[in-house]
């Protein structure tokens, strides 16, 4: 049984918690801006993502406060300057990022309050965060107002003009997620750290047509031992493999009961031996 949550029938603050708890984890945009008086502002936003590579576009939302329907300094600053910097948040600065979410007065710089270092940008006037390993300097292309009441968002559409990346988080010409050690936002006061065992690699070609669930034998699809994820790993292959394409021998599949095959296949899938598992289950 599922609980029905109907927007408009529960308080906005409660609906907000259901949304941010369900849409998680979310990347965090640590946005630095500059106001018309030269005050440097810094604030985190987890309604954030990348939406285009050509042109390079990132978007974050600065929502109206539910409590009093006021808007934030970041929104004011990007309206005035049409510029910002989106800085990423690694574990090493997560508490400082959290501290920057406090509603300090507009004439106070969060850089000073949270102990982070502003460094000059190259294509915009807003400063970068020195301690952040990746800084995306941006020109604001558009601001889309989504509503007039508390909780309504303002989509701030930013075109990236330059990305500054610390050499310490690069392997060759690719970012290393383990070295980046990024944080994600969940519901309420919860965060997730994208490093160690939390980071997994799942390869799936999007151009080769796989077997799919419907291309697998019924005994596999209805297995009481294999999980949905394990069956999906088998379904990601493009064909039933031959023995020569596996590391198995003919003796490996002799005199094994069906349940033993499924248990062994589960172990093989865990080890990344997907072809071995599918061959075992189909012979």
pLDDT per position as a tens digit, 180-226: 999 999 998 999 999 888 988 888 888 999 999 999 999 999 999 99
**Six token digits for residue 190:** 């919860």
Contact 22, 66 (CB under 8 A): no
- Report the C-alpha gap between 266 and 118 in whole angstroms: 51
pLDDT average, residue stretch 127-134: 98
Locus of tokens 């107002």? 145
Query: Given this model, what pLDDT does residue 71 score?
Result: 87
Average predicted confidence (pLDDT) for the chain:
95
Residue 89 confidence class, pLDDT cut points 50, 70, 90: very high
Q: Exposure of 247 by Cβ count < 10 A (0-12 exposed, 13-18 middle, 19+ buried)?
A: exposed
pLDDT digits (tens, 9 = 90+) for 14-65: 999 999 999 999 999 999 999 999 999 999 999 999 999 999 999 999 998 8
- Report the C-alpha gap between 158 and 66 in whole angstroms: 25
pLDDT digits (tens, 9 = 90+) for 100-125: 999 999 999 999 999 999 999 999 99
Query: pTM higher than 0.85 for the full model?
Result: yes
- Report the C-alpha gap between 42 and 33 in whole angstroms: 6
Q: Which fold has domain 12-198?
A: Pnp Oxidase; Chain A (2.30.110)
- Report which DSSP code applies to 59: E
Among the ranges given (6-15, 64-73, 84-93), the one the predictor scored with the smallest mean pLDDT = 64-73
Q: Which residue spans of the chain are classified as CATH 2.30.110.10? A: 12-198
Q: What percent of the chain has pLDDT over 90?
A: 88
Question: For residue 268, how many C-alpha atoms fall within 13 Å in the half-sphere facing its CB?
Answer: 22
Query: Regarding predicted confidence, which is higher, 67 or 37?
Result: 37
pLDDT average, residue stretch 254-274: 93
Query: Given this model, what pLDDT does residue 39 score?
Result: 97
> Facing residues of 191 across strands?
185
Q: 9 by DSSP, 3-state: which?
A: coil
Largest interatomic CA distance in the chain: 80
């Amino acid at each position: 049984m599922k609980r029905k949550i109907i927007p408009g029938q529960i308080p906005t603050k409660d609906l907000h918690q259901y949304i941010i708890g369900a849409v998680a984890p979310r990347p965090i945009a640590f946005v630095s801006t500059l106001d018309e008086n030269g005050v440097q502002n810094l604030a985190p936003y987890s309604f954030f993502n990348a939406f285009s590579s050509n042109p390079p576009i990132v978007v974050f939302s600065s929502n109206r406060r539910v409590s009093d329907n006021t808007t934030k300094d970041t929104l004011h600053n990007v309206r005035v300057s049409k510029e910002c910097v989106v800085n990423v948040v690694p574990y090493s600065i997560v508490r400082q990022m959290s501290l920057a979410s406090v509603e300090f007065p507009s004439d106070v710089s969060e850089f000073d309050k949270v102990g982070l270092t502003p460094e000059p940008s190259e294509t915009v006037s807003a400063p970068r965060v020195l301690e952040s390993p990746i800084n995306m300097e941006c020109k604001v292309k558009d601001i889309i107002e989504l509503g007039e009441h508390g909780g309504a968002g303002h989509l701030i559409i930013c075109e990236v003009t330059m990305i500054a990346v610390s050499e310490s988080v690069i392997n060759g010409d690719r970012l290393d997620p383990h070295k980046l050690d990024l944080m994600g936002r969940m519901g309420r006061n919860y965060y997730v750290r994208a490093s160690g065992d939390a980071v997994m690699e799942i390869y799936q070609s999007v151009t080769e047509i796989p077997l799919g669930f419907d291309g697998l034998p019924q005994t596999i699809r209805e297995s009481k031992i294999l999980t949905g994820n394990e069956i999906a790993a088998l379904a990601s292959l493009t064909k039933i493999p031959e023995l020569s394409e596996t590391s198995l021998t003919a003796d490996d599949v002799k005199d094994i009961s069906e349940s033993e095959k499924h248990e062994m296949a589960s172990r093989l899938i865990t080890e990344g031996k997907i072809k071995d598992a599918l061959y075992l289950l189909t012979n």
